[in-house]
């Protein structure tokens, strides 16, 4: 299997496109191009500066990946490729029937394999059976709105209805496993 590479590395570890870097770890409210200019929680923009804060997404890049249909790991378009969800989110009842609602952007199949190869928490969660691997057939993006209290906590400014993370509603998928990605489980 030919693996795509992320554009950034920290040492030998690939850094996902949506990861927050330490130089970006301040949050304010402002218009966000990935949410039609709505007021949103936004991080400083300095990708590659400082250390990657694995497990913490950059607000604008997370929304961009979901709204524009980009891979969480490499940041390239998902269109025309196998789409994979790596998430802890379980199936629930949604407005249109059963669905999965998650904040993790989708990945190319090859990039999901890279993520599982390098990420200690994903490896642990696969081993513990708490991470779901899904091949996604149909989904739709949504924007989560923050309460004034959440905005105050995150940005220091109370603003009701500001955009937070984008979410993906999986509408059609097939449950898979790490072996399907070409990964051997230990």
Task: Provide Rg for the chain, Cα atoms.
Answer: 16
Contacts of 153 (CB under 8 A, 6+ apart): none
Q: What local confidence, expressed as pLDDT, does residue 59 receive?
A: 96
Q: What is the DSSP letter of 16?
A: -
Structure tokens at 181: 């990605």
Structure tokens at 12: 């030998």
Q: What local confidence, expressed as pLDDT, does residue 9 receive?
A: 81
Counting as low any pLDDT under 70, the low residues of the chain are 1-7, 183-186
For the stretch 133-180, pLDDT in tens is 999 999 999 999 999 999 999 999 999 899 999 999 999 999 999 999
Domain boundaries, the chain: 9-176
Percent of the chain scored above 90 by pLDDT?
A: 77
Q: Which region, left, alpha or beta, applies to residue 69 given φ > 0 means left and ψ of -120 to 50 means alpha?
A: left
Question: Quick check: helix, strand or coil at residue 131?
Answer: coil
User: Residue 123's CB: how many other CB atoms inside 10 A?
Assistant: 18
Is this model's pTM higher than 0.85 or not? yes
Structure tokens at 53: 């804060």
Locate tokens 């402002």: which residue? 30
Please give the Cα distance from 122 to 90 (Å, whole number): 16
Nearest to 146 by CA among 36, 13, 5, 40: 40
Structure tokens at 57: 């997404």
């Amino acid at each position: 299997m030919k693996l795509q590479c992320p554009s950034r590395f920290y040492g030998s570890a690939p850094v996902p496109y949506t990861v927050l870097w330490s130089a970006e770890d301040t949050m304010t409210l402002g218009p966000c191009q990935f949410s039609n200019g709505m007021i949103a929680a936004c991080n400083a923009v300095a990708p590659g500066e400082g250390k990657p804060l694995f497990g913490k997404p950059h607000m604008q890049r997370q929304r961009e990946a979901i709204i524009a249909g980009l891979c969480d790991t490499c940041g390239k378009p998902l269109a025309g490729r196998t789409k994979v969800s790596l998430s802890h989110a379980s199936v629930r009842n949604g407005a249109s029937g059963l669905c999965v609602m998650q904040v993790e952007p989708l990945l190319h199949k090859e990039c999901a394999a890279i993520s599982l190869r390098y990420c200690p928490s994903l490896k642990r969660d696969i081993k513990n059976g708490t991470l779901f691997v899904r091949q996604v057939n149909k989904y739709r993006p949504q924007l989560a709105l923050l309460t004034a209290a959440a905005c105050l906590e995150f940005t220091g400014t109370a603003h009701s209805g500001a955009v937070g993370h984008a979410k993906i509603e999986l509408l059609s998928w097939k449950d898979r496993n790490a072996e399907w990605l070409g990964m051997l489980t230990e």
